[in-house]
Amino acid sequence: MALGLRSYQAHSPILAAVSSVFRQRMQYREQGTVELDGVTTPRGWEAILNFAYMGKLEVTPETAGEILDAAESLGVPRVAEICKTVLIGMQAEDRLSPAEEKWETLRSLEELYKEGIGWDLELKAEGNSFRVHRLALACGCEFFHGMFTSGMKESHQADGPLCTRFTSSDLELVISFAYSGTLVGGWDFLLDTAQAALQYQVSGIWELCLDFFHHQLSPESSLDVLSFARAYGLHDLESTAENFVLRNFAHVTATPKFLDLPVNQLVEFLSSDALYVLNELEAFQGAIRWLNADPAGRMDRADKVLRCIRFSLMSTRELKQVRAEKMMAAPGHLYNIMVDSLASLPPGPSKMEQLPCRMRYPQKVIVTSGGDTLAKNMATRSPTQDIWFSHRFWNGIGLVKQAEWRRLGQLPEEPRFRHAVAVKDNVMYIFGGKNYYGVRDTMCSVFKS
């Protein structure tokens, strides 16, 4: 484009997506420099150019008329509407943001693609041909961006189709995303899409898939996502999926995917202290469902699986349900696993430390900080600075529970009691408190750990 003594370079598909004049030029394959003298002023043209690429329009009552003339001359209705709103002094409450304007431009570019206007590249994959805009593909996929901008012969190849090593379905996926910026499909489609995004370096597709995997997990999809994350070494996603399975184990065991779980992975879940179940019977029922899916082929692994069940955490009623299972009937090897587990339960609190059987709870412990403590003879009391945490729990007889406490640290400043405690994002905050039994001894401090 030439305007006065200046020349401008721009991408035809971008201009055609916002301007009817440039759309018509592209449709009729008009070539050569576009003379803008007498059509618009530099300020009006630069405002439209900035709008086409950035979605932004800097317009004031003083410049609105000039930009409006340029928009009407070049057929840019979105810019014209904004300028008219500014000229009549109305507040454009429904005006689109720059990001939304760029989405509108992308949708217009997609219309050009669907109508076959301005195609300048033909791609071949597995014998199928795809005609596209080189610009759209370079913007939507790092693989093609590198190909078209790195000086390779493909960057200036104009005649003849460009052969690729893409599969036809993968290339169709990349083209669709480049023009729409969206993905549509179920979980199986998304897993295949994520693999293609990693292989062909399509960061936009990959980020969408990764965000969906992190925030839209379900019992039906979590095991597939976990396997995918482990296969590709995606440690953050692996941790997210694994934590989801542990927190929703009872629901995961009800899915068909659970029955295909490798035995080592099942043992890993059942052995975890972070396995969240309402009671140990849920863990046992999950194990039995997995074993019953292939009794002949999996019975030799039953010993390994059932030794992960913490029978000593079960109530008498729950143990009766365990014994009602056919494979747990007495006498038998699997029945003996349960008996041995219960036989190791010590009769009294004095032998509790011999039973390292932790209650299941998802990556959390009970913490006590400071407080008002009694002397051993219960004759006096005094504030303390100690912070303790529950290292492990045991079941006792009936409803009796026993906990092993370990010292975590010490409160800063002085001992305190009657303080407030809050926990957010695994950080503990300690507010105020008192350090003596007087009236004016309130502490004005906050700590976090």
Q: Is residue 378 a contact partner of residue 372, using CB atoms and an 8 Å limit?
A: no
The string of pLDDT tens digits covering residues 321-358 is 988 888 887 777 787 888 877 765 555 443 333 444 56
Please, what are the domains in the chain? 2-96 (3.30.710.10), 270-356 (1.25.40), 367-448 (no CATH)
Rounded to the nearest 10 degrees, how much is the dihedral formed by the CA atoms of 164, 168, 172, 178? -20
pLDDT in tens, 384-442: 888 887 766 655 555 556 677 777 788 888 888 888 888 887 788 888 888 877 777 78
Average the pLDDT over each of 108-117, 289-298, 367-376 and give the range with the smallest value: 367-376
Low-confidence winner among 38-42, 181-185, 282-286 (lowest mean pLDDT): 181-185
Check: CB of residue 204 under 8 Å from CB of residue 227: no
Q: Of 357, 352, 262, whose CA–CA distance to 311 is shortest?
A: 357
- In this prediction the pTM is 0.69
Which H or E run includes 187? Answer: helix 187-200
- For residue 372, the surrounding DSSP H or E stretch is strand 372-374
Q: What whole-number distance in Å separates Cα of residue 25 and Cα of residue 228?
A: 48
Return the higher-pLDDT residue of 152 and 314: 314
User: What mean pLDDT value characterizes the chain?
Assistant: 85
CA angle 34, 40, 45 (to 5 degrees): 80
What pLDDT was estimated at residue 332?
77
